[in-house]
Amino acid sequence: MTVDTLDNPGWRLKADLVNTSLAGVLPDRLVVERAKDDWGHARNDGIHFEGAYGPLNLGEVSEAFRDSAGNAVSPLTDALPGRAKDDCPGSPCDGIRHNHRMFNFGIPGYRPEWLSGRSSITAVHGARLGRLVDRRLTRALLVWDLDEDKWFADCPVLLDFEGEQVEINHWKFDELSITWNTIDPVRSPDWPDFHLAWRDDVPDELTALVGQPCSAVDLLMWRDRDLVEGTIVSLGFGFPNGQVTIYNALDENGMEFTPPDDHYTRYSLAF
């Protein structure tokens, strides 16, 4: 087991699970995420456990590691310092899931609902997304970093179609959260060490779509023979004079404003 420092600042823990009782026991992936200098992520492939965290939370990954191992007994888990859940800043704390699933990105009232794969996203949100067709885009908002004067792509993108606000957020490699009408952009996000605000006047390509009726809603799959079909999902909205695609830019949101090319397979949600 090794612990290395990172430049952010922070640390990375790696544990070799070969020849231990935990090999193949832990879930495929652990995710613990909170803020820039606070929490990071952890994952396990059944053979190795790896976590990367901020400077204050070595105990949190230990607790997540213990929880994920269940009742497995190993010198590795016994050697890791734990942190009592009663001391956890989240309320209530249920171990791993509170950290990843309940992190609100500093946005009051926001509770992302993470899904992976085209079939699950279509089953949960397909019909409602399809009903956005013919509705006018009345507002589009994203979070702006006021110090850097640039888009803060970790936070969700809001598209309001005549009172039906869809909130889109990409996470990790393949997870997408779509929520509806939960975020009040009057309240600015609160992230340590960042000055953030919602803006509805940037970028120009996005604001140019406001006022137009939605003509298409598509789930877009990136064509790559090395990826499982249906794994990475982007969300595209077509308009009479424009297009916006909100895609996974490797653990954050990305936007494109040109029609999807042949690298995408398109699945229409219009009914």
pLDDT in tens, 88-108: 333 333 333 333 444 789 999
Distance CA 5, CA 11 (A): 4
- How confident is the model over 177-197, as pLDDT tens digits? 999 999 999 999 998 889 999
Centroid of chain to Cα 182? 16
Distance CA 11, CA 61 (A): 11
pTM, two decimals, is 0.64
pLDDT tier for residue 30 given thresholds of 50, 70 and 90: very low
Q: What pLDDT, on the 0 to 100 scale, is given for residue 192?
A: 82
Burial of 75: CB neighbours in 10 Å, binned 0-12, 13-18, 19+: exposed
Residue range 75-92: mean pLDDT, rounded: 34
Centroid of chain to Cα 112? 8
Q: Which of 177, 171, 267, 252 is nearest to 222 (CA)?
A: 267
* Cβ–Cβ under 8 Å, residues 200 and 207: yes
Give me the percent of the chain exceeding a pLDDT of 90: 46
Residue 145's H or E segment, with its range, is strand 137-145
Q: Facing residues of 217 across strands? A: 237
- How confident is the model over 125-151, as pLDDT tens digits? 999 999 999 999 999 999 999 999 999
Where is pLDDT greater, at 139 or 27?
A: 139
Where is pLDDT greater, at 12 or 170?
A: 170
Q: What pLDDT, on the 0 to 100 scale, is given for residue 136?
A: 99
- Look over the chain and give the mean of its residue pLDDT values, rounded to a whole number: 73
Distance CA 40, CA 57 (A): 9
Q: Where are the domains of the chain?
A: 2-101, 114-268
Q: Say if residue 1's pLDDT is above 70.
A: no
* Cβ–Cβ under 8 Å, residues 15 and 45: no
Q: Facing residues of 184 across strands? A: none
Q: Facing residues of 246 across strands? A: 235, 255
Distance CA 198, CA 145 (A): 9
Residue range 51-80: mean pLDDT, rounded: 44
